[in-house]
């Protein structure tokens, strides 16, 4: 089978759409198609990829205005006669489909915990023991901890109407607020600090509840849910929240 896809090339005002015909099979992914194009007609085509199985988030792009992971999206699943592949919105474009993810990484809370106790674990772990596991994790430890679900692909930031239209000073973004909420759960001793971040004018108050962030998240993190939970917490007495968090350690 053959199909034509459009790819936005270049950067900024110099950008243009180029169309390529690719041969594909039922299991051919969009990332497969990009690699076929790069090894054929467009050896200078730029895009990011790494894991090829939806774990790293680096191949996140927009197709016909919706954020997806190129490595998980089959070409046959794309609607429209000529799907248009573009870089993520809300980020500075380096070239072609490559964006500068710095805006996302700078928005995340500093010294965040990236491991948490596995929900199915029968053993108990405190936040300090999880912190100690950030580094090489031995096979004996793996049943007791798991990585946070967010793969920092930037899809939610791109899909958010606020972050796509405004600077980071106006809204820190759904990925950041989801991370803030998870950090407040993982490390109750930082609860006050995380609530202070959420309470900033660029925090939960700036969210307009469009829910696009949750709709496009490839890992079902549901950032909008985390934002709403933080919003409720901000409306509750702070001392009660901290006490309840401590009871769950």
pLDDT over 90 percentage in the chain: 70
CB neighbourhood size of 207 (10 A)? 23
54 and 152 in one domain? Answer: no
Give the residue, 13 or 245, on which the prediction is more confident. 13
79 and 50 in one domain? Answer: yes
81 and 183 in one domain? Answer: no
Backbone angles phi, psi at 114, to 5 degrees: -105, 0
Domain that holds residue 55: 2-100
User: Is 162 contained in some domain?
Assistant: yes
Structurally, the chain folds into a number of domains equal to: 2
185 and 229 in one domain? Answer: yes
220 and 108 in one domain? Answer: yes
Looking at 66, 100, 134, the residue that finishes a domain is: 100
pTM of the model: 0.81
User: Is 198 contained in some domain?
Assistant: yes
User: Is 135 contained in some domain?
Assistant: no
What is the domain-level CATH number for residue 73? 3.10.20.30
Q: What is the pLDDT of residue 126?
A: 39
Long-range contacts at 64-69 (CB < 8 A, ≥ 24 apart): 66/159, 66/216, 67/155, 67/156, 67/158, 67/159, 67/216, 68/30, 68/155, 68/216, 68/218, 69/153, 69/155, 69/218
202 and 107 in one domain? Answer: yes
């Amino acid at each position: 089978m053959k199909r034509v896809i459009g790819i936005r090339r270049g950067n900024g005002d110099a950008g243009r759409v180029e169309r390529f015909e690719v041969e594909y099979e039922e299991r051919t992914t969009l990332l497969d198609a990009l690699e076929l194009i790069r090894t054929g007609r467009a050896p200078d085509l730029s895009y990011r990829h790494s894991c090829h199985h939806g774990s790293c988030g680096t191949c996140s792009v927009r197709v016909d205005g919706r954020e997806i992971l190129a490595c998980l999206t089959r070409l046959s699943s794309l609607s429209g006669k000529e799907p248009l592949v573009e870089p993520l919105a809300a980020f500075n474009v380096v070239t072609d489909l490559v964006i500068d993810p710095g805006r996302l990484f700078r928005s995340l809370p500093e010294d965040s915990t990236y491991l948490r106790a596995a929900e199915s674990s029968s053993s108990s772990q405190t936040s300090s023991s999880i912190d100690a596991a950030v580094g090489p994790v031995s096979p004996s430890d793996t049943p007791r901890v798991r990585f946070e679900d967010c793969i920092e692909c930037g899809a939610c930031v791109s899909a958010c109407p606020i972050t796509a239209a405004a600077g980071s000073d106006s809204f820190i973004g759904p990925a950041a607020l989801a991370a803030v909420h998870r950090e407040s759960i993982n490390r109750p001793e930082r609860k006050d600090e995380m609530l202070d971040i959420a309470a900033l004018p660029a925090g939960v108050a700036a969210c307009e509840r469009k829910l696009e962030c949750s709709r496009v998240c490839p890992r079902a993190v549901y950032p909008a849910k985390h934002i709403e939970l933080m919003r409720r917490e901000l409306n509750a007495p702070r001392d009660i929240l901290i006490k309840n968090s401590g009871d769950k350690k």
